[in-house]
Chains A and B, each alone.
Chain A
Amino acid sequence: MAGTPDNTGAQAASMYESAAKIYPREMQGRFANLSKLATVTLLGLFYAVPWLMWDGRQAFLFDLPARKFYLLGLTLWPQDFIYLALLLIIAALSLFFFTALAGRLWCGFACPQTVWTEAFIWMEQLTEGMRSQRMKLDKAPWSWNKLRRKGSKQFLWITFSMWTGFTFVGYFIPIRQLGIDIVALNVAGWTLFWGLFYGFATYGNAGFMREQVCKYMCPYARFQSAMFDNDTLIISYDAKRGEPRGGRKRSVDQAAAGLGDCIDCTLCVQVCPTGIDIRDGLQYDCIACAACIDACDSVMDRMNYSRGLVRYTTEHALHGDATHVLRPRMFVYAALLLVLTTGLITSMVTRTPLILDVMRDRNTLYRELPGDLIENTYTVKVINQSNDQRNFRLSVAGVTGLTLDGVGEEVTVDGGGLLSLPLRARTHRDNAYGIMEITFSATASDDESVSVTEDSRFLGPTP
């Protein structure tokens, strides 16, 4: 740890002394607690959710090999892609909404990069100790103690990363069976590959790259400022109150000495994971983790100054103007979010778990059959999106006397199954001429409300 700058007195020196023990995440305080809470909640959800069961199967399973998504009681298919698209749009809008409201909340508390880094730093502290101990350890020559500490850190990191990879794959492949397969050393090649890939990415991103990802690689970090306005919550240093900064003894009358509230202890810089000086103003490197607020508050408490020299504030508030939380852009974002979310939920709840797909055979226009009949052939696919086996009635309408051949009264489709039927539609020659629009429909025999239609064409001879 660096020595005490010469221009500070004995009282301030004790500040530096305690600062020496502090490294980013060792900061105690309101926001550090909030951040821990967020980490535990989010990581807890990530690791627990694949183990939840619903009706005897995994509650959340994105079964890519079978091309089906299970979400609680719902089964989604590639045809339901619109839901995924809607969900992504809602996620993006929420990000805009919260960024405009409260700045980079996402970065500081919810981003996987932050959350996993938090967990990795915790393991680092557990094995290698606090910041000064870690720095000493890094400089020290290799010894049994160093090997033991570094070794146990790597052991924890790697085990945690592997478990993360396993959990990640468990969202796509039933996790209980996967666990059994791993114990039996019987894992499919690609499954193993993706598990290791995700595990390794976690290890690299959270163990080594950390906030470098935010500074150099994250697009959101660069464009989020476009969503800021003068009423957005930002973490800022109150220069009017703090300047002129300078070290002083606690006994010194700051007014007489002509000093502001900032004692220039640099604690806010030391705790900053991205290594910026918040006193230089708003910078895009700032991930709004609020560690500097905790740091500065602790110093203000010891100096008996009021808290909040570094605080959550807005540009307007800093300039002495009123802050407006309710402003047009908030209403626009909120309205859009409300409409999309309501739409998504409504359409998911009222969704008909049945898909009918009709393809006309393009090779022949039509066939003439004995008895003055005209016939068109179709490939009809019935996809039963419910989880139980069901019977469906198929029918066609739109042309007088049109009947279906190749299908009985009802067809049976397994739960989550697809039935592909070659069907022939026929009618008398007198009814068929040119191109005619027809409509196929399928209705579940046990529930009339489960019914869908699909348009197609019937071709006849041109007079």
Chain B
Amino acid sequence: MISEEYRGAKQWSRDKQAVATVIWISFLAAAVATMLFFAVFDPSDLAHTLDPELEIGRQAGYAIGFFFFWVIAAGCSGVTAWLVRTARKRDAQHR
């Protein structure tokens, strides 16, 4: 039997796995969404469309867009993960 001490890495708890996965995958999704979105739309144009008075630099626009997508994606996968993990397990005979 191989003792845990021999192994290079410790195992993560299920909760830690779920949280890390949700954050990481939504981060990747947000990165892709930001790239696609801002390839088409210029953030400074968008700001003017929303409110002609609004002065948002492009850098700030990209950042806001990125975090917006990240929050949306993390919310979506977070709720999904939570629902899947908290669902009552099916009885063995129904498998």
Contact = CB atoms under 8 A, between A and B. Distances in A.
Decide whether A and B assemble into one complex: yes
Interface of A: 1-2, 23-24, 64-65, 67, 78, 81, 84, 188, 190-191, 193-194, 209-213, 215-217, 219, 266, 269-275, 277
B93 interface: no
B2 A277 contact: yes
Contact of A24 (B2, B8, B12, B40): B8
B48 interface: no
B8 A209 contact: no
Given A65-B58, A67-B58, A269-B2, A216 B20 contact: yes
A305 to B, nearest CB: 21
A275 B24 CA distance: 22
A103 to B, nearest CB: 20
A226 B59 CA distance: 39
Contacts of B9: 210-212, 215, 273-275
A275 B8 CA distance: 5
A266 B6 CA distance: 8
B91 to A, nearest CB: 28
Contact of A212 (B6, B12, B35, B57): B12
Interface string B23-66: 01100000000010001101000000000000001111011000
Contact of A78 (B3, B40, B57, B63): B40
15 contacts: A2-B3, A64-B62, A65-B57, A67-B58, A190-B60, A210-B9, A212-B12, A216-B21, A219-B25, A266-B6, A269-B6, A271-B8, A273-B9, A275-B7, A275-B10
B86 to A, nearest CB: 19
A391 to B, nearest CB: 27
Contacts of A213: 20, 24
B22 to A, nearest CB: 9
A275 B42 CA distance: 47
- SS class of chain B's interface: helix, strand, loop or mixed? helix
Contact of A217 (B8, B24, B58, B63): B24
Contacts of A23: 8
A269 B21 contact: no
Contacts of B12: 212, 215-216
Contacts of B59: 64-65, 188, 190-191
Contacts of B62: 64
Contacts of B40: 78, 81
Contact of B39 (A24, A81, A191, A212): A81
A75 to B, nearest CB: 15
A266 B2 contact: yes
Contacts of A191: 59
Contacts of A188: 59
A188 B60 CA distance: 11
Nearest to A131: B8
A213 B42 CA distance: 34
A1 B5 CA distance: 8
Given A1-B5, A78-B40, A211-B8, 19 more contacts: A2-B5, A23-B8, A64-B58, A64-B59, A65-B58, A65-B59, A81-B40, A209-B20, A212-B12, A213-B24, A215-B12, A216-B17, A216-B20, A217-B25, A269-B6, A273-B8, A273-B9, A275-B8, A277-B2
B82 to A, nearest CB: 17
A271 to B, nearest CB: 8
Contacts of B35: 84
B42 A67 contact: yes
Contacts of A219: 25
Contacts of A211: 8-9
